Amino acid sequence: MKVLLLYDYPASPSGLATQGDLLYRGLLEIGVDAHAVNCESPQEKEWYYKWFKPDVVVGIGYWWHTPDLILHPQKYMMQPVPWLVADGYIANYQDVLNDLPLILVTSNWVKEMYMRDGINGDNIEVLPVGCDTDTFVPFAKDNPKVLAIRESLGVSSDELMILTVGGDAASKGAEEVMQALAMIKDKVPPFKYVCKVWPQPRTEIQNKTDIELAMKLGIADNIIFSSGINSRNYMPYLIGACDIYAAPSRLEGFGMPQVEANACEKPVIGIKAMALLDTMIDGETAYLAGVAQKIVVDHVFIGTEAGYENHHRVDFDIPRTVDYRASSEDIATYLLDLMNHPLLRIQMGKAGRKRVLEHFDYRPVARQFVSIINRKLGIK
């Protein structure tokens, strides 16, 4: 089997790039003839098509990446197999997607979203994102790299560290976590809540809103916003520095940081919805808060990224859920339990790593990919 992977290559620290890179590594390690190329490099992609002659061209991205991931390989008579995540609504390219013999998605929830929006589920297969369990491992509390991170963030040795990582914090449920912490701040040990975000204009705006909320809730002294570009070398130690990983995300197609936190033997607080129903086991590897609110819309505006003119309006016959909000009361209950019971944190973390090793290590994921390609397309 010869596989060409299209993603943000060489890999940046982003989630999609990491998703592609771990599949690439896994395929190479199990002996598959594979190459990777940047999905936005048409000339180089064509070069690989001509000399490598791949059996499948696997593109990692969203549905709106269809021109780069699907249409470009098809132009050169290649067989595309997109591996897609969802962002709440598939607005275009239904005909193109329905003509494919195989679409890979990252979770059962993503499959449901594609089927809801008109994609035939018979050719959709779930392939989870791999995790590098050799890098994301448990670290001792006195590990110098872990201690250095806590010191740089301003978290003292006697404080519990709760962590959320995302492009921005609110999309990962940080506002709901802050509301929960305000409810229990006098009933738990000293703590700091660290929100590690990616520097970008929308995040700067959101940070200001989140800081204002923290001040209003009376917990601003407990909240730390850390914004910066960090490599994948740094992330295991950042997660290793926390005691609880909290991300009851508002929209989650897989939940890579939650899985990586479990791999580091950290208990997770998530939301009982979307992809976390696949990746977490409520009460065993994580606490999943109930859904307090669904954000429903009856129309959206989309543009050139979806293959339309700018500000194109799409009206829904049936309103669509595009966002979720976790119950802050549930989060408060779970934080209270985890923050006051160190042994529970250890127990849940160990169960989490065991599950990641069994289901999400990048090498078994690569083998699962090969099995799907063989079964669905007859390629060995």
Compute the average pLDDT of residues 244-257: 96
Compute the average pLDDT of residues 100-124: 96
Is residue 132 pLDDT above 80, yes or no?
A: yes
pLDDT for residue 148 = 98
139 within domain boundaries: no
pLDDT for residue 330 = 98
Compute the average pLDDT of residues 178-192: 98
Q: How confident is the model at residue 89 (pLDDT cuts 50, 70, 90)?
A: confident
Is residue 200 pLDDT above 90, yes or no?
A: no
How does the average pLDDT of the chain come out, rounded?
95
In percent, the amount of the chain with pLDDT more than 90 equals: 85
Q: Which domain holds residue 327?
A: 144-359
303 within domain boundaries: yes
Q: Answer yes or no: do 172 and 241 share one domain.
A: yes
266 within domain boundaries: yes
164: nearest Cα among 147, 148, 176: 176
* Integer angstrom CA distances of residue 199 from 16, 203, 216, 225: 17, 6, 24, 11
Is residue 214 pLDDT above 80, yes or no?
A: yes
Q: Answer yes or no: do 195 and 126 share one domain.
A: no
Here the CATH number for the domain that contains residue 174 is 3.40.50.2000
Is residue 204 pLDDT above 90, yes or no?
A: no
282 within domain boundaries: yes
Q: Answer yes or no: do 116 and 192 share one domain.
A: no
Q: Answer yes or no: do 345 and 232 share one domain.
A: yes
Q: Answer yes or no: do 112 and 221 share one domain.
A: no
Q: How confident is the model at residue 257 (pLDDT cuts 50, 70, 90)?
A: very high
- The domain total for the chain is 2
Q: Tell me: the pLDDT tens digits for 292-313?
A: 999 998 888 877 777 788 888 8
136 within domain boundaries: no
Q: How confident is the model at residue 87 (pLDDT cuts 50, 70, 90)?
A: confident
pLDDT for residue 153 = 97
pLDDT for residue 92 = 86
